Amino acid sequence: MDSNLKKIITECPKAELHYHIDCISPELFWKFSQRNGIELPIKTLRDAIDFYNFQTLDEFLTIMLTAISSIQTENDFSDMVMDCANDMVTQNIIYREVMFDYTACYGHRGVSLNTVINGFAEGLKLAKKRYENIDIRFIANLDRTASVIDNCNYINKLIKFREEIPLIAVGMDMQEIGHPAHKQADAFALAKEYGFKLTGHVGEVVGPEGIWDALQSIPLDRIDHGVRAVEDDELLKLLAEKQILLTLCPASNISLGVYSSWWEFPIKKLMNSKVKVCINSDDPPCFHYDLTGNLIKIAETFDLSTSEVIELIRNSFIFNFAGNEHLSNVDAWLDKNIAI
Ligand SMILES: [Zn+2]
């Protein structure tokens, strides 16, 4: 790979907009299991690392739910934020929007929303003390398999926590098949009334019809994944016109079989169609590529030009939910380091 391009990807300040903090590393899984006295079929950290190997989507979900079940206390949530912050500094990520799904991951087994938010707030405090130049915001993902009434109740409870952590958006995740976005339209309308930005996982496992359904029923500010829009030229035109960003996650899609190889990932067609896209890691402990790794692999596979790589990096700053307040830092770095 061109060394100039590698320098941009590794050293340029970056933002990441699609990152699930619930998907903890094997190291945190091991640490929390020990600390919380949880009985597991693993006896060492090595076992925990081996436990993360999966072949199918079902295996992936089983592994993640087992790992997530080790997360119980405020301390755990604080450690998760610090782990996220450490990783940001390692990768030169200065801004990250972090998703969490309270109902699917914690609420159903009695972990209170207070515990989650207080832990996140404590972690943020510690992270900011250790690192000056990182900005973490939170996206509360709705479990799309839950009833819309339960999700409205959840949003009503979330409101008071906006004082505690920078909670900027409401999103949606979990199984796409059988759970079209429109079923959650009332919950998103409520979130919008409260002033949240709106995003949601669509067009990952389900094709373009899932994206149409979401756009026709919910005023989404952007779309998580949305990669299968590539199968519908009309939809590509609409996304390009409305400048609705797709937060693409290539390694995730390949790991979970949406595409069978990196070569099949349709980044070129999306970019050539003028759809706004950025690159993200989704659940990096499971998919083995962080943001930097995803960018390098995509740039290598498709022989991206310097300006295409810069466009991908800048899109994460232009279309994030905090406004483009960090964009000038990126442009200053590019001006100083890159002769275009
Ligand atoms: Zn995701």
Measured in Å, residue 272 CA sits from the centre of ligand 1 at: 24
User: Which positions are annotated as active-site residues?
Assistant: 204
Average pLDDT of the segment spanning 286-308: 96
Residue 340 has pLDDT above 80, yes or no: no
Residue 31 has pLDDT above 90, yes or no: yes
pLDDT of residue 57: 74
Residue 53 in domain? no
Angle at 294 between CA 313 and CA 71, to 5 degrees: 105
Residue 52 in domain? no
User: Domain range holding 149?
Assistant: 3-24+71-326
Measured in Å, residue 139 CA sits from the centre of ligand 1 at: 11
Residue 10 in domain? yes
Measured in Å, residue 332 CA sits from the centre of ligand 1 at: 30
Q: Sorting pLDDT into bands at 50, 70 and 90, what band is 325?
A: confident
Are 201 and 184 in contact by the 8 Å Cβ rule? The answer is no
Q: Sorting pLDDT into bands at 50, 70 and 90, what band is 62?
A: confident
The percent of residues in the chain predicted with pLDDT above 90, rounded, is: 86
Number of domains in the chain: 1
Which tokens in the block code for residue 218?
């919910």
Residue 32 in domain? no
Q: Sorting pLDDT into bands at 50, 70 and 90, what band is 1?
A: confident
DSSP letter at 99 equals E
Measured in Å, residue 4 CA sits from the centre of ligand 1 at: 30
User: Residue 301 CB: number of other CB atoms within 10 A?
Assistant: 16
Q: What are phi and psi of 290, to 5 degrees?
A: -85, -175
Residue 320 has pLDDT above 80, yes or no: yes
Residue 197 in domain? yes
**Rounded distance, CA 239 to CA 220, Å?**
11
Average pLDDT of the segment spanning 79-90: 98
Q: Who's near 13: CB < 8 A, 6+ residues apart?
A: 92, 93, 94, 326, 329, 330, 333
Q: What are phi and psi of 90, to 5 degrees?
A: -60, -35
Residue 280 in domain? yes
Measured in Å, residue 286 CA sits from the centre of ligand 1 at: 12
pLDDT, tens only, 99-123:
999 999 999 999 999 999 999 999 9
CATH number where 95 lies: 3.20.20.140
Residue 224 in domain? yes
Q: What are phi and psi of 172, to 5 degrees?
A: -155, 135
pLDDT of residue 339: 66
